Chains A and B, each alone.
Chain A
């Protein structure tokens, strides 16, 4: 039936759309969250050999708190994405974050990017494209209630 075909295509299109939107949120919250966390932890100092209380106290640093808040958002958006998408799809596709870190370092912080690092950026982008062309969800839905 043509109408079934249209419905199937619409369903697939919606799946791809929400997968892409969630992927962008997952990538941005992780990249920005990690950046603020590292920035704040450099102010707090070495945590090696410290007790649990000192980890909690590290949250008093505003950059650490901001980083942790973004990483909590990352955790939730990652869970929502994994509610339909395969782990072996989500994992390589969200790695575009590494490329973002390298590019923002180059553009905003004027860090030099060596030829080897550009090769790394190229390989990750290639990996994301190769996996991004597969269907986000391959697991049979029979187990679901």
Chain B
């Protein structure tokens, strides 16, 4: 029972966290310069980005819940059980981030979700 509660926390926090992260990085803009100094400036800028800060908080929740989950369950249970986040995040990407989710993307998300479920057998 505790395992499934942790799975629910992980799926919820990961989905919200990744949507916030994607929104925050789109607000920052495309990264072109990969030299160390430029990357340092990028990270100091995104450390002050409120969407990114919130996303890191959600990812931290998800991460500690995942640490707790793998301490009581096998990785071959933990990883597939949290795969529902693929479908949830694709829905959020379309509705909140306004991404152009065509049939290729839906088919891909469903194929991956089904594939991850089969891998857990």
**Chain A residues in the interface with B (C-beta under 8 A):** 34-35, 37-38, 41-42, 44-48, 55, 58, 71, 75-76, 78-80, 82-84, 86-92, 95, 98, 101-102, 114, 116-117, 119-128, 130-131, 133-134, 138-139, 143-145
Contact = CB atoms under 8 A, between A and B. Distances in A.
A127 B75 contact: no
Contacts of A91: 18, 86, 89-90, 93, 109, 112
A128 B21 contact: no
B76 to A, nearest CB: 9
Contacts of B99: 86-88, 138-139
B30 A123 contact: no
B57 interface: no
Among A34, A41, A71, A125, residue most surrounded by chain B Cβ atoms (within 10 Å): A41
Nearest to B49: A79
Nearest to A81: B25
Contacts of B67: 37, 41, 47, 55, 58
Contact of B22 (A82, A126, A127, A131): A82
Which 4 pairs from chain A and chain B are nearest by CB?
A120-B118, A127-B111, A123-B115, A131-B108
A73 to B, nearest CB: 12
A82 B64 contact: no
Nearest to A15: B30
A124 B83 CA distance: 12
Nearest to B90: A88
Given A48-B72, A117-B118, A123 B25 contact: no
Interface of A, secondary structure class, is helix
B29 interface: yes
A44 to B, nearest CB: 7
A119 B114 CA distance: 10
A90 B97 CA distance: 13
A92 B93 contact: no
Given A120-B117, A122-B115, A123-B115, A45 B93 contact: no
A139 B121 contact: no
18 contacts: A37-B70, A45-B71, A47-B72, A48-B71, A78-B21, A87-B93, A88-B94, A91-B112, A92-B86, A92-B105, A92-B108, A119-B115, A120-B115, A120-B118, A123-B111, A124-B112, A130-B104, A139-B99
